[in-house]
A and B are shown apart, each in its own frame.
Chain A
């Protein structure tokens, strides 16, 4: 594996929170109807950053991968050795390479959670339509990573995997190290399914492939599945009735005053006490906006003393003030995410730290007429980070092609995933866009989603608070997540927790058995 950058933390559900650009707006704003986002234009930051994808640098075929590591050398050997990177492989040519369907079933496995498996049925339909006679064995399970471990250890790697390597797919990098993943570089040049004449790479949401790849640059090891934004959701009617401004239109200091005003009428916040990390959707962006991007890059690069940064401590202290001032709805500390979300949609408090799945997740239990809006975290007056940067994932690192019996068929499954039919289901039924440019496929944006899209426009391609050390070195982030409740409630001083993180980082630095990664560029703007 080589080195580079990617996302800061893999959020609560071990999904990589990664940066994106205004092209996310492009994807979402492609929808029709009245509540459509502004017509997207490339942002200034994107224009400055836009450049051709670098990896893979060599030609395809054998150069795409260490050939010796492939389990099925015969099938992998069909890839043309003279292929030039960036050249379209038509669907017809691809099908010739694929050949007849194998006699045994190809295997696709994945997580079965809130998103259901309806999209899998659509994929299967399309696969069977394109490849009559193809047999596909599927296994989608809420604990697929535990279920698959014995098979993986026995060398039986599925051909296509979703959130299978480690809890919710969070340890896919280990899978790469252990040779369980096949590189997907060749897939990028295949004609996208349902997008005539366009390469897969061309239809992808800008930045999403890079975001998903966890900072690795030698190959495209993993592929993105969904996109979402993180931050503050507030009760729109309540704010409008009281003439309270949206949090991100004022400074953090003014926002603290606003919370004081809110507290005179209603508890400003609820949060998921059983998942205290939700509050990190406020704390991390605030720390980034105060400390700036370089500070975050230093964390990832294990720069000595990087955690002992007074700006980071300031961000923690500010959030602690919220708890110290008793601005939290009573009992929140014992609630799950859905319970706290219900408190919010029932109008019992003004704000909740959350993500753009909130509206969909609470759809069934939200009282009719309740309106919510998204806000980024306000920037402090003298912050070093980009003021309107947004904390978001433009490509969660969920999907891999298995280095199993049929890696090319795994590639084909992946190609089918990024099809218009699958995208339409996700945008419509699931309410979450997949990371392709035309992801909305005509779906309407709700008020809440629209408010998030507006922030994406303002973010101008800047995605703050993104770091990777949590995924690269889990022992560093453990003190952070273990102590999150104590941090919020002020039971541990900001400098003390940062000292703990620094010590954990120091141990990683000194441990030669841990593979090290390094960011070679430090930016909060991602481009393809």
Chain B
């Protein structure tokens, strides 16, 4: 009886969210899987069922020895962004640890680091593209005025060679770092603040340094958060689109496009919505696999305290 009464209270809270989730997330997702089985221009209701042809095409393009369709090139850009994400996570963790110790003006730092998260990604892209503009941007103007002309590089160039990738892609990674580090910092800070101080103090009394206590006590205790953040990073990286899209003027760019940019081209330029849906289903499968892997292989026994 008590349980039934409890549900009477819970259900009204759940149902609106469930309806929104079903309509705006579940249905489009399932519809995407359905569309991936058709040839469809996306302009009318004329759809032709073609079974798994779109997936066969995706597999063919992925495994083309010449990477003619640049799919592996695009995925390598996603991977590069993942490397940036790991760096962002790491520094987010370090910053969180520092701020948790409440240094001077820590609240100012916390707000400052988090601030980019209140800006939309396209706005961030526009802001940075002006800041890094080769002719009037703040960065190069400052470098030139300091006599450091050699360092005034064309930051947004997709022709300027850097190790493995072009300079422009490093810029994308840096901007992603700038925009994301505050988010990771907040997540880690919340987790660190939940770690009982007694455990840290006990470790220090036992002779551990602060750094040692952090890596051997705090980090294992927040491992759930680390793992969740890792999954977020994988999802975020495979969903990378807006930043390069806006930074590079919405043009197809071989040296900065990621897998979702290819999806966009197939859907909106090549009118091949069925195939673009297959690409997204492929991304979903990879994301799911990455999530499972991260939970299975990075999973540790949850530490209770």
Contact with B along A473-492 (1 / 0, CB 8 A): 01100110111011001010
A43 at the interface (CB under 8 A from B): no
Decide: A153 and B44 in contact? CB cutoff 8 A.
yes
B49: chain A residues within 8 A (beta carbon):
none
B158 at the interface (CB under 8 A from A): yes
Task: Give the contacting residue for A333; candidates B44, B157, B251, B265; CB below 8 A.
Answer: B157
A174 at the interface (CB under 8 A from B): yes
B270: chain A residues within 8 A (beta carbon):
474-475, 478
Decide: A503 and B68 in contact? CB cutoff 8 A.
yes
Of B2-10, B35-43, B90-98, B290-298, the segment with at least 4 beta carbons within 8 Å of chain A is B35-43
Decide: A170 and B255 in contact? CB cutoff 8 A.
no
Name the distance in Å between B75's Cβ and chain A's nearest Cβ: 15
Of A176-184, A186-194, A425-433, the segment with at least 4 beta carbons within 8 Å of chain B is A176-184
Decide: B271 and A334 in contact? CB cutoff 8 A.
no
How far is B155's CA from A334's CA once the two chains are assembled, in angstroms? 7
Contact with B along A448-487 (1 / 0, CB 8 A): 0000000000000000000000000011001101110110
Decide: B269 and A474 in contact? CB cutoff 8 A.
yes
A171: chain B residues within 8 A (beta carbon):
41, 43, 269, 271
Q: Given that A274-B248, A333-B154, A339-B133 are known contacts, is A482 also in contact with B42, CB under 8 Å in the complex?
A: no
Q: Given that A146-B268, A180-B44 are known contacts, is A500 also in contact with B68, CB under 8 Å in the complex?
A: yes
Name the distance in Å between A470's Cβ and chain B's nearest Cβ: 11
B173 at the interface (CB under 8 A from A): no
Decide: B135 and A179 in contact? CB cutoff 8 A.
no
A485: chain B residues within 8 A (beta carbon):
158-159, 253-255
Decide: A486 and B254 in contact? CB cutoff 8 A.
yes
Decide: A333 and B41 in contact? CB cutoff 8 A.
no
Name the distance in Å between A398's Cβ and chain B's nearest Cβ: 17
Q: Secondary structure of the B side of the interface?
A: loop
Number of A interface residues, CB 8 Å? 44
Task: Give the contacting residue for A153; candidates B42, B133, B253; CB below 8 A.
Answer: B42
A175 at the interface (CB under 8 A from B): yes
Decide: B249 and A478 in contact? CB cutoff 8 A.
no
Interface residues of B in 187-239 (CB under 8 A from A): none
How far is B70's CA from A325's CA once the two chains are assembled, in angstroms? 29
Decide: B249 and A336 in contact? CB cutoff 8 A.
yes
Decide: A331 and B39 in contact? CB cutoff 8 A.
no
A45 at the interface (CB under 8 A from B): no
Task: Give the contacting residue for B252; candidates A146, A152, A342, A481; CB below 8 A.
Answer: A481
Interface residues of B (CB under 8 A from A): 39, 41-46, 68, 70, 132-135, 154-160, 168, 248-249, 251-255, 257, 265, 268-271
Interface residues of A (CB under 8 A from B): 145-146, 149, 152-153, 155, 165-167, 170-171, 174-175, 177-180, 273-275, 277, 330-331, 333-336, 339, 342-343, 474-475, 478-479, 481-483, 485-486, 489, 491, 500, 503, 513
Q: Given A180-B44, A479-B68, A486-B254, list of 5 further CB < 8 A pairs? A: A273-B157, A274-B248, A275-B249, A333-B160, A482-B70
> 6 closest A-B pairs (Cβ-Cβ)?
A331-B134, A178-B44, A334-B154, A334-B156, A334-B157, A482-B254
